[in-house]
Amino acid sequence: MASPSLGRRLVACLLNVSEARRKDLVETVAKAALYDTEGARREGTAVLNIFNDHDYNRSVLTIVASIDFIGEAVLSACEKACGLIDMRAHMGVHPCMGAVDLIPIYPLGEEVGVEDCAKAARAVAQGLTERVQGTSAFLFGWADSPLQRGLAQRRKEMGWFQKTPDLQAIRPDMGPQPQKRFGLTGVGASPYVMNCNVTIDTQDIGMGRGIATAIRESTPGGLPGVQVLALPHEGAVEIACNVESVKGSHVTAGEPWPSFSFGGQPYCHAPASLITARVTELAGRQGVHTKGTALVGFTPRECRGLAEFALTQGIAEFWREQRRIRM
């Protein structure tokens, strides 16, 4: 059984790797987080979910552990991914720059502070560039000391949103000039960020971009904490949202936003239902329906609850078991 303090020391890493069409490869990366090279299981670590998107050719692995164990688990997964994924051969509609594209670390418990997460993220960035020669990293959020620039800003600075980023123009925070094989990896820490994607039944990418702009946080009347891209997806357009946790509390249409806390600070996030409703309304004005909403992984509260369950029950490969387990 886990120690009583386990739940308070928990963190999550939503590891983004630039491969989804070879699912066996992605599962091999997940297993590298859980088992050492001898096949022995790592202490206090579980993979809760693997989300594969074929069109994006991108997968998100939800790795959870005590903050004391997260670094080695994530680094081992990254080493495996860098050995198996070659960015020179990568094809997908989602912007990406690295074989391992993103390593965000999020606190799940009260006893995990900002500096704990920042320290862990910086150690992962340094470890990656040392253990996989030729890899490069930029830092964001709490790990980007002292500026603490957000992920969207740092991606823009690195050229992440460009169709073909100029690797020679990039100045990474750690590692050498980015190489075409490995690309560039973003590493950081912040309050929990969900991924919520709403599909609209059109191929009009211009319409999708207009809707994305309307709900983006930076737009007057937009949703706090919501960063958005419109991308072609499976013959339609997906409004792909990064839903950042924001300090304090918010209420929309009389309904309080889902809330949680860490380090004694209250946070909340825009609910998926609200994002879906806004997209549905905006698309409907132009005679277009929505086709569905996908949550990539879990809400912060769900992630913590499932992490505690998986770790106390000793279920390392939780992504395989979750359908048959009744919570």
Residues 177, 239 within the same domain: no
59 within some domain:
yes
Whether pLDDT at 1 is above 60:
no
Task: Give the pLDDT mean for 162-174.
Answer: 91
- Residue 191's closest CA among 305, 108, 74? 108
pLDDT digits (tens, 9 = 90+) for 102-131: 999 999 988 898 899 999 999 999 999 999
Q: Is the dihedral of CA 20, 185, 175, 245 positive or negative?
A: negative
Residues 90, 114 within the same domain: yes
- pLDDT: is 114 or 188 the higher one? 188
Q: Which residue has the tokens 């879990």?
A: 298
Can you tell me the distance from the alpha carbon of 31 to that of 25, in angstroms, rounded to the nearest whole number?
Answer: 10
Cα–Cα distances in angstroms (integers) from residue 45 to residues 6, 31, 106, in the given order: 11, 11, 15
Q: Considering its fold, how many domains does the chain have in total?
A: 2
- pLDDT: is 296 or 205 the higher one? 205
Residues 183, 227 within the same domain: no
As given in the structure block, the two tokens for residue 62 are 């939800």
Confidence of residue 234 (pLDDT cuts 50, 70, 90): very high
Edge to edge, the sheet with strand 226-233 lists 226-233, 236-244, 193-200, 290-296
- Here the CATH number for the domain that contains residue 275 is 3.30.70.670
Cα–Cα distances in angstroms (integers) from residue 99 to residues 84, 152, 156, in the given order: 9, 19, 18
Q: Which residue has the tokens 């992504």?
A: 319
Residues 291, 315 within the same domain: no
Q: What is the pLDDT of residue 297?
A: 87
Can you tell me the distance from the alpha carbon of 7 to that of 13, in angstroms, rounded to the nearest whole number?
Answer: 15
Q: What is the pLDDT of residue 323?
A: 67
Mean pLDDT of all residues belonging to the chain: 94
Highest mean pLDDT: which of 46-55, 108-117, 315-324?
A: 46-55
159 within some domain:
yes
Between 70-84 and 114-131, two packed helices, what is the crossing angle to 10 degrees?
40
Residues 166, 140 within the same domain: yes
- What is the value of pTM for the model shown? 0.94
Residues 81, 129 within the same domain: yes
Q: What is the pLDDT of residue 321?
A: 84
47 within some domain:
yes
Confidence of residue 5 (pLDDT cuts 50, 70, 90): very low
Residues 157, 10 within the same domain: yes
Residues 219, 177 within the same domain: no
327 within some domain:
no
Task: Give the pLDDT mean for 57-80.
Answer: 97
Confidence of residue 324 (pLDDT cuts 50, 70, 90): low
27 within some domain:
yes
In the chain, the largest separation of any two C-alpha atoms, in whole Å, equals: 58
pLDDT digits (tens, 9 = 90+) for 252-287: 988 999 999 887 889 999 999 999 999 999 999 999
* DSSP of 74-109: HHHHHHHHHHH--GGG---SS---BSEEEEEEEE-S
Residues 35, 132 within the same domain: yes
Confidence of residue 4 (pLDDT cuts 50, 70, 90): very low
134 within some domain:
yes
257 within some domain:
yes
23 within some domain:
yes
Confidence of residue 29 (pLDDT cuts 50, 70, 90): very high
Asked which of 17-21, 95-99, 107-111, 123-127 is least confident by mean pLDDT, the reply is 107-111
**Structural domain containing residue 247:** 193-296
Q: What is the pLDDT of residue 114?
A: 87
Residues 22, 168 within the same domain: yes
Q: What is the pLDDT of residue 325?
A: 65
Residues 25, 142 within the same domain: yes
Residues 127, 75 within the same domain: yes
- Here the CATH number for the domain that contains residue 100 is 3.30.990.10
Q: What is the pLDDT of residue 53?
A: 94
